[in-house]
Amino acid sequence: MAAKILVVDDEPQFERLILQRFRRQAREGRYDFVFAQNGVEALDVLGRDRAIDMVLTDINMPKMDGLTLVGKIKKSHPRLRAVVVSAYGDMKNIRTAMNLGAFDFVTKPIEFSDLEATIEKTIQEAEVLKQAEAARELAEKNERLQELDQFKTDFFTDISHEFRTPLTVISGMTEQIEENPERWLTRGITMIRRNSLNLLNLVNQILDLRKLESGKMELRLAQGDVVPFLHYLFESFHSLAESRDIQMHFLGNVSKLVMDHDAEKLLRILSNLLANAIKFTPEGGHVYFQVDDVAGCLQVRIKDTGPGIPAGQLPFIFERFFSGLEDTPPALPEEKDEYRPLFGGSSAPPTAAPRSPARPPGQRAQGTPQSTGIGLSLAKELVTLMDGEIGVESREGKGTTFTIRIPIRQQAPLVEEGESIPSFLKAEKPAGPSPAFPSAPVPVSADVEAELTELPSLLIIEDNADVAEYLLGCLEGQYQLDIAQDGQQGIDKALEQVPDIIISDVMMPKKNGYEVCQTLKTDERTSHIPIILLTAKASQDSKEEGLSKGADAYLSKPFEKQELFIRLEKLLELRARLQEHYRSLEALPDTGTEGERQESQFVLKLRAIVEANMEDENFGIIELCREAGLSRPQLHRKVKALTGRSTSSFVRSIRLHRAKELLVNSDLNISQVAFEVGFRDPKYFSRTFQEEFGKSPNESRG
Angle (deg, nearest 10), helices 181-214 and 375-385: 40
- pLDDT at residue 540, as a whole number: 76
Residue 461 has pLDDT above 90, yes or no: yes
In terms of domains, do 392 and 269 share one?
Answer: yes
480 Cβ contact partners less than 8 Å away, ≥ 6 residues apart: 452, 453, 455, 456, 457, 458
Closest among 450, 469, 449 to 460, alpha carbons compared = 469
Closest among 338, 54, 166 to 46, alpha carbons compared = 54
The last residue of a domain, from among 516, 543, 575: 575
Instruction: List the single range of 174-178, 432-436, 593-597 with lowest mean pLDDT.
Output: 432-436
User: What is the share, in percent, of the chain residues with pLDDT greater than 90?
Assistant: 19
Residue 205 has pLDDT above 80, yes or no: no
List the Cα angle 669/671/672 in 5-degree steps: 65
Find the mean pLDDT for residues 579-606. 66
DSSP string, 317-367: TTSTT----S--PPPPPTTSPEEE--STT-SSPPSS--------TT-BPTT
List the Cα angle 87/89/95 in 5-degree steps: 140
Residue 434 lies inside a defined structural domain of this protein:
no
- pLDDT at residue 340, as a whole number: 44
**Three-state secondary structure call for residue 669:** coil
Residue 131 lies inside a defined structural domain of this protein:
no
Angle (deg, nearest 10), helices 621-628 and 647-665: 100
Q: What share of the chain is helix, strand, coil (3-state, %, to 5)?
A: 50, 15, 35
Closest among 374, 368, 364, 361 to 321, alpha carbons compared = 374
- Per-residue pLDDT band at 350 (split at 50, 70, 90): very low
In terms of domains, do 61 and 182 share one?
Answer: no
Residue 121 lies inside a defined structural domain of this protein:
no
Find the mean pLDDT for residues 449-458. 73
How far is the C-alpha of 23 from the C-alpha of 503, rounded, in Å? 85
Question: Residue 465 in contact with residue 492, Cβ under 8 Å?
Answer: no
Residue 327 lies inside a defined structural domain of this protein:
yes
Residue 438 lies inside a defined structural domain of this protein:
no
Bridge partner residues of 292 (DSSP) = 299
How far is the C-alpha of 638 from the C-alpha of 131, rounded, in Å? 70
In terms of domains, do 557 and 650 share one?
Answer: no
Question: Residue 115 in contact with residue 1, Cβ under 8 Å?
Answer: no
In terms of domains, do 398 and 496 share one?
Answer: no
The whole domain housing 644 covers: 594-700
In terms of domains, do 611 and 498 share one?
Answer: no
CATH number at residue 201: 1.10.287.130
- pLDDT at residue 230, as a whole number: 92
In terms of domains, do 98 and 157 share one?
Answer: no
Domain count, the chain: 5
605 Cβ contact partners less than 8 Å away, ≥ 6 residues apart: 628
Residue 123 lies inside a defined structural domain of this protein:
no
In terms of domains, do 52 and 156 share one?
Answer: no
Residue 634 has pLDDT above 90, yes or no: no
- pLDDT at residue 341, as a whole number: 41
**Three-state secondary structure call for residue 534:** strand
Q: Where is pLDDT greater, at 640 or 459?
A: 459
**Which bin fits 373, alpha (ψ -120 to 50), beta or left (φ > 0)?**
left
- Per-residue pLDDT band at 365 (split at 50, 70, 90): very low
CATH number at residue 552: 3.40.50.2300
- pLDDT at residue 451, as a whole number: 55
CATH number at residue 258: 3.30.565.10
The last residue of a domain, from among 160, 181, 214: 214
Peptide bond into 443 cis (omega under 30): no
Q: Residue 371's Cα: distance from chain center in Å?
A: 8
In terms of domains, do 345 and 490 share one?
Answer: no
Residue 435 lies inside a defined structural domain of this protein:
no
Question: Residue 478 in contact with residue 455, Cβ under 8 Å?
Answer: yes
Residue 126 lies inside a defined structural domain of this protein:
no
In terms of domains, do 199 and 228 share one?
Answer: no
- pLDDT at residue 272, as a whole number: 87
In terms of domains, do 380 and 492 share one?
Answer: no
Q: Please report, to the nearest 10 degrees, the dihedral formed by the alpha carbons of residues 85, 87, 91, 97 taken in order.
A: -30
In terms of domains, do 536 and 417 share one?
Answer: no
What is the CB neighbour count within 10 angstroms for residue 413? 9
Question: Residue 608 in contact with residue 622, Cβ under 8 Å?
Answer: no
- Per-residue pLDDT band at 416 (split at 50, 70, 90): low
What is the CB neighbour count within 10 angstroms for residue 368? 27
618 Cβ contact partners less than 8 Å away, ≥ 6 residues apart: none
In terms of domains, do 203 and 234 share one?
Answer: no
Question: Residue 364 in contact with residue 324, Cβ under 8 Å?
Answer: yes
- pLDDT at residue 422, as a whole number: 55
Question: Residue 140 in contact with residue 434, Cβ under 8 Å?
Answer: no
Q: Where is pLDDT greater, at 625 or 339?
A: 625
Q: Model-level pTM?
A: 0.60
The last residue of a domain, from among 197, 214, 231: 214
How far is the C-alpha of 95 from the C-alpha of 447, rounded, in Å? 104
How far is the C-alpha of 436 from the C-alpha of 46, rounded, in Å? 71
